[in-house]
Amino acid sequence: MSSFRIGAALLLLLVLMALFAPVIAPGDPLAISGQAMLRPFESEAHLLGTDRLGRDVFAGLVHGTRTTLLVAFFSAAAALIIGSIVGTISGFLGGVTDIVLMRITEAFQTVPGFLLALATISVTGPSVPTLVLAISLGNWTQAARVTRAEVLSLRERDFVAAARTLGMRPFEIAFREILPNAFGPTASLAAISVATAILIEAALSFLGFGDPNRVTWGSMIAEGRTVLRAAPYLSIVPGIALVVTVLSVHLIGRGLSRTERLQP
């Protein structure tokens, strides 16, 4: 349980940072705010230093939390929703629908999620909604498989038979009776989905395919890379923020799966 608490505390801190970003670091984080290439702790006004253009690293870090959490949360949610809908339909209807949907799922699994996100971004252009779409496209298959397996085992249960005799329509049964019951195991994928989404978003913006109008940790790392020899901290600091965020999500996930395992 303690790993859950540490994770939850860290994530809460990050969420607060994201919510109060304009208060903590007022002004546009992309604007030049001082002398360029200040080292961390060199200047009181720029605690973590400034980049090549004189933008404040701390402000970038704080505002970057917003992009990271926003994209990660929504794409993980989208992935879980898409996955559980596909899984429910597939498991509930069976037959040809099941075969076709599972082949499609397999096809999505076969293409590396990151390449799929990259291709999608190349079509739609980078913005927060398209990033959410691009990342969730490669991230829903696991949820579909888990939900389908769960639906298959739930399909024959008594309460489903009862719903049938009550004259509920198949889709009503699938989405009102089965899906809510199958959602538990699927939700346990949430932590891993969020973590994956954070890492894909970071990698995309590192390659320059992120939202150009927002500060992201990935783009900060890429920006720092051009002066890696002179100022390695410009790449290292946002990376640490990434590691801490992903770690907090993993800690929560581990805590959750432990408590779930303890329940009979």
Partner 1 sequence: MPPLAAFFLKRLLTALPVLFIVLVGSFLLLEAASGDAVDAYIARSGAMDAEQITQLRTEWGLDKGPLYRFGAYISTLAHGDLGWSTAFERPVTSVIAERLPVTLLLMSIATGLAFFLGSLLGVVAGARPGSLRDRILSTGSLALYAVPGFWLGLVLIVVFAVDLRWLPIGGIESIASDKTGLARLGDIAVHLILPVCALAMVYLALYLRLMRDRMAEIWRDPFVKGLEARGLSRRRIVWRHVARNAVLPAITMLGWQSAAMLGGSVVVESVFNIPGFGRLAAEAVARRDTPLLLGVLLCSAITVIIANLLVDLAYGKLDPRVRIGR
Residue ranges in contact with partner 1 by CB under 8 A:
103-104, 106-116, 118-124, 195, 199, 202-203, 206-209, 221, 225, 228-229, 232, 235-236, 239, 242-247, 249-251, 254
Cα dihedral 163, 164, 170, 172 in deg (nearest 10):
-20
Taking the CB of residue 149, how many other CB atoms lie within 10 A of it? 15
Closest contact distance (angstroms) between CB of 107 and partner 1 is 4
Q: Return the number of the residue (180 or 232) whose C-beta is nearest partner 1.
A: 232
Q: Are 69 and 15 in contact (CB under 8 A)?
A: yes
Q: Are 108 and 138 in contact (CB under 8 A)?
A: yes
DSSP state of 178: I
Instruction: Report the alpha-carbon distance of residue 8 to residue 223 in Å, rounded.
Output: 30
Closest contact distance (angstroms) between CB of 111 and partner 1 is 5
Angle among Cα 16, 188, 119 to the nearest 5 degrees reads: 80
Which secondary-structure segment (H or E) carries 136? helix 128-137
Closest contact distance (angstroms) between CB of 113 and partner 1 is 6
Closest contact distance (angstroms) between CB of 207 and partner 1 is 6
Q: Return the number of the residue (87 or 138) whose C-beta is nearest partner 1.
A: 138
Closest contact distance (angstroms) between CB of 135 and partner 1 is 12
Q: Are 117 and 134 in contact (CB under 8 A)?
A: yes
Instruction: Report the alpha-carbon distance of residue 16 to residue 122 in Å, rounded.
Output: 32
Q: Return the number of the residue (137 or 182) whose C-beta is nearest partner 1.
A: 137
Q: Return the number of the residue (108 or 183) whose C-beta is nearest partner 1.
A: 108
Q: Return the number of the residue (106 or 260) whose C-beta is nearest partner 1.
A: 106
Q: Return the number of the residue (92 or 206) whose C-beta is nearest partner 1.
A: 206
Closest contact distance (angstroms) between CB of 259 and partner 1 is 16
Q: Return the number of the residue (37 or 244) whose C-beta is nearest partner 1.
A: 244
Nearest to 214 by CA among 139, 135, 129, 134: 129
Burial of residue 8 (CB within 10 Å: 0-12, 13-18, 19+) is middle
Closest contact distance (angstroms) between CB of 147 and partner 1 is 18
